[in-house]
Amino acid sequence: MRLVFVVLAGFVVFGCSDPEETTDPSGTQGTEEAESSSTGDTAPPLTSTTTSDSGTTQDVGEDESTSEPPTTGDTQSLDQPPEVTLFVNGSADPRSATNAQRAIVSATATDDGAIDRVEFYDGETLLATVSAEPYETEILLTSLDNGSHPLQARAFDDAAQEGVSDVIDYAVEITGGATVADDTNVFQTGGFPTYPGGGAVVDGSDIVVIAPVTTTGFGITGIAAVSYAAELDDVNWQLTEPVSLVDGQPQYLPMGKPYLREDGSELIIGGNDMGTDGILDPNVSIFRLDAAGTGALPFVSIPSNPMVQNLPVAGVARDDDGNVFVHGPDDNIRRYAPNDGVLLWESPTGTAFTTSEFGMVRMLANEEGDLFTDTVSCGASSCTLSTAKINGFDGVLQWSEDLTMPENGFFWALGASTPLPDGGVLTAFCPAAIDGGGVSLTFRDDAGAVMVEYALAGPERFAINDIAVDAQGQVVLVGARDAGGDAQAWVARVSPDGAQLWDQTIEYGVDSNYSLALAMTEQGQLVVVGVSDTTAGLVFTADLWVALLDL
C-alpha cells in the first residue's frame, strides 16, 4: 500500500492506494449521481488530479463520473451490490468543522463477493480512491473550505456492481485567523530591530520556539528554546541556560529563522558571537541544537577581518539535502555539508554591513536547491530591499532586483520573499506612507521577470518579517501594522490573485507588538512567534510570545 497525496482547490486530500490495484476491464466508470440533502450554502466543487500506480496523472473532479455501471445477466442476478456506510471523523452524523484540521473520511463496505475499491466524493467531485482496507482518506480543512460539502462513498465489487452510502452534508465553519492557543510570555528576549532573530519549527506534532534570552538592560545570556505539544498546552522540554559556543564565550545572539534537519534530529541556528562585556565580536557562528533539548553542538564559526568594523549578519538556510547556507560576516555566502561542516563553496553574492549602515539578510532554498536572498540595507534617509536568486550548486548569481523606500522602514522590515513551486519567487514589499503604505506583492518567474503585482491593505505603514505559501497554495504574511504610532502584530492570508482572505491583529502586553516568524502545522494551523512591550533603540528587549491560529 502507498500514500497518495492529492492537492485540490480548497481541500488537500491524503489517501492510500494498493500498488497492485486493478482497474475495470472496460477502462470506464459509472455515472450514478449522489443524492444530496444539503441545506444552506454549498461550497464550490473541488477539482484535482491523482497519480496512478504507473506514475501517470489522471484528471478527476469533473461533473461526469468515471465508474462503470453494473452490468446485467444471470451472474449479476445471483449477486448483490456492496453495502457501504460513510463516516467523518468516526461519526455518521459529524459535528461541523470549526477548527482547521485533517478530517478523516472513512467507510465500511461489505459484499457477498469481494470489494474492488471505494471512492469518496464531494458532490460529483472524486476526492480519493482506496482499494484496500481501511477505506479512508484525510482531507485538510481550513477557512478556504467554508461551506457545505455533500460527502458520499461509493463501493464497487469484483462484479462491477456499485453500492452508495447515504450523503453526509458536512459543514465547514472555520474562522480564518482565529487564535486557537497561545503562550503570551515565553521569556524575555532581545536583539537588533534589523534582524530580531526569533522563530519556530514544527517537529512532527511538536512546536519548537527559539530566540535569544536576555536580562534587563539587554544582557544577552544565550539561546533559549521551548518545545510545546501540538496545541501549546504542554511543554515537552526547554533549554533556557546560557549557551557557551565559541572560544568559551557565554553569550550569543541568534539572527534569522531556525531550521530543522530533515530527520528531525537537530535544529540549525545562525547568529553572532557576543563578547562577555556585551560588545559584538565580529564572528558568525552556526550551531546545532539537539531536537530533544539536551544541548548545543557547535557547527561552524566564521571570523571576519578584525581590521574591519563589520556588523555581522548571520542569515542561514538549509536545502532538502541538508546542506547549510550561511551569510556573512563579510560579503560572502557559503555552503556547507550537512554533517561535518565541510565548506562546499563560497560566493561574493552577500552584503557586508558596517556599524554605520544597518541591514538584514534572509535566505530560503527552494526544492531544486537554489537559494533566494532578501537583503535590506538602510542608510540615513532610505532603505533598499534586494531580492536575488543564487544557484545553490555553485553559488553563481542568477538575478537580482531592488525595491527602494525613500525613508527608513517601519522596524526596518521592508519585506520578505518565498520561493514558488514553479521556480519563481514571491516578494512582499512595504511601500512608504507617502507612497500609499500597505503591502505590495510581486510574483517573479524563474528568470526574475515580474509576472504580476498586487497591492493590499494600507494606507498605514506595514512591516513584513516572514512569508510562506501554505499547503493549499495561499500566501501567508506576518509582520506589523503602524496603528497611530503604536505597532500591532499583523497576520494575513492572501490568495494567489491578490485577494485578501482574512487578516488579524495580535496584541499582548501593553504596546509595541510585532510578529517575527511563522511556521505551518500539518493540521492546517499557523504558528506565529512575536514580541510585545518592545523597547525602542538600536537594540531592543521584549516579551516573546507564540500563538496558534487557524488558517
Per-residue pLDDT band at 24 (split at 50, 70, 90): very low
Query: Is the model more confident about 291 or about 437?
Result: 437
Q: Is the pLDDT of residue 120 over 90?
A: yes
Torsion over CA: 216, 220, 221, 223 (sign): positive
| pLDDT confidence of residue 200 | 84
CB-based contacts of 409, cutoff 8 Å, min separation 6: 376, 378, 383, 430, 463
Query: Is the model more confident about 457 or about 140?
Result: 140
Q: Is the pLDDT of residue 34 over 50?
A: no
The DSSP line for 86-132 is EEETTBSSPPPB-S-EEEEEEEEEE-SS-EEEEEEEETTEEEEEE-S
Q: Is the pLDDT of residue 58 over 90?
A: no
For the entire predicted model, the pTM comes to 0.81
| pLDDT confidence of residue 65 | 42
Neighbours of 432 (CB within 10 A): 18
SS3 59: strand
Q: So what CATH class is 2-172?
A: mainly beta
Percent of the chain with pLDDT over 70: 66
**Rounded Cα–Cα distance for residues 203 and 277 (Å):** 35
| pLDDT confidence of residue 13 | 55
Per CATH, domain 179-550 is 2.130.10.10: yes
Averaged pLDDT score across all residues of the chain: 76
| pLDDT confidence of residue 78 | 73
Q: Is the pLDDT of residue 523 over 90?
A: yes
| pLDDT confidence of residue 549 | 97
Residue 165's identity, in one-letter code, is S
CB-based contacts of 263, cutoff 8 Å, min separation 6: none
| pLDDT confidence of residue 37 | 36
Q: Is the pLDDT of residue 220 over 70?
A: no
Torsion over CA: 108, 113, 116, 119 (sign): negative
- Take residue 306 and report the three cell numbers written for it: 578584525
Per-residue pLDDT band at 126 (split at 50, 70, 90): very high
Tens-digit pLDDT profile for residues 303-353: 666 555 555 566 788 888 888 888 877 788 899 888 778 899 999 988 777
| pLDDT confidence of residue 31 | 35
| Residue of 379, 324, 327 whose CA lies nearest to 351 | 327
Q: Is the pLDDT of residue 193 over 80?
A: no
* 3-state SS, one letter per residue, for 204-256: CCEEEEEEEEEECCCEEEEEEEEEECCCCCCEEEEECCCCCCECCECEEEECC
CB-based contacts of 443, cutoff 8 Å, min separation 6: 420, 424, 425, 426, 450, 451, 452, 453, 496
Tens-digit pLDDT profile for residues 238-292: 876 555 444 444 455 555 566 665 555 566 666 665 554 445 555 666 666 666 6
Residue 59's identity, in one-letter code, is D
**Rounded Cα–Cα distance for residues 116 and 30 (Å):** 14
| pLDDT confidence of residue 318 | 86
Q: Is the pLDDT of residue 296 over 90?
A: no
Question: Is residue 117 within 8 Å of 129, Cβ to Cβ?
Answer: yes
Tens-digit pLDDT profile for residues 170-180: 999 999 999 99
Domain boundaries along the sequence of the chain: 2-172, 179-550
Per-residue pLDDT band at 14 (split at 50, 70, 90): low
| pLDDT confidence of residue 16 | 47
